[in-house]
Amino acid sequence: MHLSQNLFSGKRKYIFTFVMLSLIFVICAAFSTEDKYDFDFAKREVLLRRIGHELLLQSGDRTSRVLPVKKIAENEYQISFENELTFQPDSLVNLTKRVLAKDPLANDYIVNVLNCRNSSIAYGYSVSKSKKDDIVACLGRKQLKACYLINIKFQPTGLNTTKSIYFFGGLSFLALIGFVLLRPKSLKSRKDLPENQQTDLFTLGSVLFDAKNRKLIIDDKTIDLTATESRVLFIFASSPNEIIERSRLQKEIWEDDGVIVGRSLDMFISKLRKKLEIDPNIKIVVIRGKGYRLEINS
Helix (H, G, I), strand (E, B) or coil at 224: strand
User: Is pLDDT of 193 > 50?
Assistant: no
Average pLDDT over residues 185-200: 46
Q: 65 near 73, Cβ under 8 Å?
A: no
Query: What's the confidence (pLDDT) of residue 187?
Result: 41
User: Is pLDDT of 7 > 60?
Assistant: no
Task: Note the pLDDT tens digit of each residue in 261-280.
Answer: 556 788 888 899 999 888 88
Q: Across 90-94, 168-172, 173-177, which has the greatest mean pLDDT?
A: 90-94
> Helix axis angle, 262-275 relative to 246-254, nearest 10°?
100
Percentage of residues of the chain with pLDDT beyond 90: 31
Domains in the chain: boundaries: 34-159, 195-296
Task: Note the pLDDT tens digit of each residue in 215-231.
Answer: 999 888 899 999 888 88
Q: 69 near 45, Cβ under 8 Å?
A: yes
Query: What's the confidence (pLDDT) of residue 105?
Result: 82
Please tell me what DSSP assigns to residue 205.
T
Q: Which of 26-35, 58-67, 122-131 has the lowest mean pLDDT?
A: 26-35
Average pLDDT over residues 286-295: 90
Sheet containing 215-218: give its strands across: 201-204, 207-210, 215-218, 221-224
Assign domain 195-296 to its CATH architecture.
Orthogonal Bundle (1.10)
Q: How far apart are CA 24 and CA 4, in angstroms?
A: 30
- Would you say the pTM of this structure is higher than 0.85? no
156, 76, 159: which is closest to 114 by C-alpha?
76
Task: Note the pLDDT tens digit of each residue in 50-87.
Answer: 999 999 999 899 999 999 999 999 889 999 999 999 99
Helix (H, G, I), strand (E, B) or coil at 84: coil
